[in-house]
Amino acid sequence: MGSPYADPLLDPLFTTAEAADAFGPRARLQGMLDFEAALARAEARAGVVPAAAVPAIAAACDAALYDLDALGAEAALAGNTAIPMVGHLTRKVAEADAEAARFVHWGATSQDAMDTGLVLQLHRYCDGLEADLARLADGLAALADRHRATPMVARTWLQHALPTSFGLKAAVLLDALGRDRQRLAAARGRLALQFGGAAGTLAALGDAGLRVAAALAAELSLPLPALPWHSSRDRVAEIAAALAILAGTLGTLGRDVSLMMQMEVGEAFEPAGPGRGGSSTMPHKRNPVSCAVLLATASRAPALAGGLLAAQVQEHERGLGGWHAEWQALPELARLVAGATRHAAGLVAGLTVDAERMRANLDLTRGLIMAEAVTMALGERLGRMAAHERVAEASRRAAAEGRRLRDLLAEDPAVAAVLDGAALDALFDPLHYTGSAAAFIDRALAGHRGG
């Protein structure tokens, strides 16, 4: 079997073999053929077509039997891929059973085959994506638990703010990923059978339409919607939006890790390995390869999702152009997100955390990062404004003179009168000023474990 990648030079970086295969041209055709085989079985069960017609139709519903290039050339004239597919399928069935060929695609329309085929592809894709999401979530949970007491700088507007823990940083991402998985599961649950016939009424099947629809949904193990959804594209828009939001979460992971990987920061690093993250000219380089993929996906996903949201506007009972806009955009979005998720799972599983560097970076400002902690403690004794003024003045002197804030405060008689050396030492311990971080980590872990 050949490579599933359409672009063997770039696809291995940006997607997974499983996602590429799930949305490859052969899989697209097989999804439509699976619909046709299931339709024949369902109609035979409902007494609409003779049971004798089913074996020949089912046997011909194998994508390997068809020339994709020929189908594509005909689709360029017909306007969609289902029309030539039905013609080729009918001829293939006729070779084995001319009578059975009369019942190919009975009572259905092109969009029924294409949309249901897409839904089947998406369900298969979601299975693979969820496996990587689960691995990523487990990795984040392990980091959150392992580093709950690893202090580091919390940065706001890219500047030092207050102490936090690396465990909380991982827990925040874990919590967001949990919501992403919930959104995807909900969207997947609404990916249902499409079966409405030419104008969404199943008129060609007379009073057997609803029976056939129910049997067809059962054959394909798909939800049976209340009505056909030819022009109601919220299901497609919803899965696209969920994937794009997930891409944003992954991009946040990529942004933070890439910033921590800078040599000037040096707090965390992507996994290293032969051939990974090197430079064509600089042997010393260790580039954040996975982070680049996460950020690229986060950059591309909104435009793809935006196009799919715009495509929701459809005309009457069958859209013109909007439906067509989905055919390439949704698979591209899905492939990108699958690749980014795989990269993220590997990144987190092999992340190198430099706890000593994190602690050292907390001391870069010579204690200024603890100014709020001291102000709050002093405020209980001197009043908020008086405490703020004394700490602010000491902070200005510390920055100007290159001295430690703790030492300057110890020299202040008003401070020394209410805070002795041991109290000041405790106030300048970053782990004593991480607030509810441990409790937040526990909440995120409980949510991950279903507790």
Give the C-alpha distances (Å, rounded to integers) separating 10 from 180, 207, 339.
27, 51, 11
pLDDT above 60 for 135 = yes
pLDDT of residue 278: 57
Are 244 and 305 a contacting pair, CB within 8 Å?
A: yes
CA angle 68, 323, 29 (to 5 degrees): 20
2 pLDDT band, cuts 50/70/90, is confident
pLDDT above 90 (res 355): yes
Which amino acids are annotated catalytic?
A: 279, 318
Cα of 242 vs its chain's centroid, Å: 7
Whether 43 contacts 29, CB under 8 Å:
no
pLDDT digits 0-9 by tens, 43-81: 999 999 999 999 999 999 999 999 999 999 999 999 999
Model confidence band, residue 34 (pLDDT cutoffs 50, 70, 90): very high
Residue 311 has pLDDT above 90, yes or no: yes
* Domains of the chain and any CATH numbers: 10-357 (1.20.200.10), 365-436 (1.10.40.30)
**Secondary structure class of 163 (helix, strand, coil):** strand
- Digit-coded pLDDT (tens) for 192-221: 999 999 999 999 999 999 999 999 999 999
- Whole-angstrom Cα Rg for the chain: 30
The pLDDT score that the predictor gives to residue 252 is: 98
Q: What pLDDT sits at residue 281?
A: 56
Please, where are the H alpha helices in 371-412? 371-382, 384-401, 405-411
Select the highest-mean-pLDDT range: 240-244, 280-284, 285-289, 367-371.
240-244
pLDDT of residue 287: 87
Using CA atoms, how far apart are residues 30 and 360, in angstroms rounded to an integer?
Answer: 57
pLDDT for residue 273: 73
Query: Mean pLDDT for the chain?
Result: 95
105 pLDDT exceeds 60?
yes
Q: Under DSSP, is residue 352 helix (H, G, I), strand (E, B) or coil?
A: strand
> Tokens in use for 436?
């509810």
Over 80: is that where the pLDDT of 279 sits?
no
Q: Which of 379, 416, 373, 380 is nearest to 395 (CA)?
A: 373
Average pLDDT rounded to a whole number, residues 335-363:
97
* Residue that the structure tokens 């980590």 belong to: 441
pLDDT tens column, 381-431: 989 999 999 999 999 999 999 999 999 999 989 899 999 999 999 999 998
Can you tell me the mean pLDDT for 370-381?
92
> How crowded is the C-beta side of 63, counted as CA atoms within 13 Å?
17
Do residues 450 and 389 lie in contact, with contact meaning Cβ atoms separated by under 8 Å?
no
Partner residues linked to 352 by β-bridges: 269
* Residue 1 pLDDT grade (very low, low, confident, very high; cuts 50, 70, 90): low
Query: Averaged over 126-152, what is the pLDDT?
Result: 98
Mean pLDDT for 263-290 is 76
- Exposure class string for 349-370: b at 16+ Cβ within 10 A, else e: eebebbeeebbebbeebbbbbb
Return the percentage of the chain with pLDDT > 70, whole number.
97
Identify the pLDDT of residue 3: 85
Count, in order, helices (H) and strands (E) of the chain. Answer: 20, 4
User: pTM of this prediction?
Assistant: 0.94
The residue type at 209: G
* CA pair distance 243, 187, nearest whole angstrom: 10
> What is the model's pLDDT at position 451?
52
